Structure 1
Amino acid sequence: MSDRKLTEDKFDNRLTKFAPFISPNPVTSFNPVQRYPKIDKTSFISPFSSVIGDVRIKDNVYVAPNAAIRADEGTPFYIGSNTNLQDGVILHGLLKQFVTVKDKAYSI
């Protein structure tokens, strides 16, 4: 087997071990209930990104490497269909600051 093939195989095996960091929000005085993200199965979350808390990610969303979606202070978040969040984007909502989507209040 060629050196190139060995290198490709090793890279492929290492890459499959990575996964995005997806977790509930931490419990705090202003956010006392842990909520997990809800991510549509057609969306892609890079292995090097994080999604934390009450985040709703709809269909066909792309989250690039090193993006952070943190619904730990302001919550919940709504990421609509066909959204593209590029490298290094940080979404972090403010407490008690809201926008309305389909008659529901969201932090982002």
Structure 2
Amino acid sequence: MPSDKALRAGLYGWVFNKARRDAGEPPADLAAAVRWLTANTVDPAALADAALVRKALDTLALRWTALPRRPARSPGSGPSSLAPSSTRLSCGYSMRTRCRW
């Protein structure tokens, strides 16, 4: 797998640049990244397949640990949005902050 820098260079230097794509093959310094991108990305026309899109969305809904993500909470909802004064510790830190003795 090419480095992040090489992938960005391939995308911005050739893949996203229609004039350079129309000029022919990618330059030698971008060729490896462009080959990798071609082999490891989905053709946009394939996104018409609902099963493929569902698989992609389900994959995005997982954390790196492969556990389901918690649903996002809107600001101000739920018990963690307001910390009552009783959650303040004697050292002046709230319960959400590590108290150093």
TM-score, length basis structure 1: 0.24
**Which structure would you say has the larger RCO, counting Cα contacts within 8 Å and 6 or more residues apart?**
1
Bigger radius of gyration, 1 or 2?
2
| Structure number having the greater strand percentage | 1
TM-score, length basis structure 2: 0.25
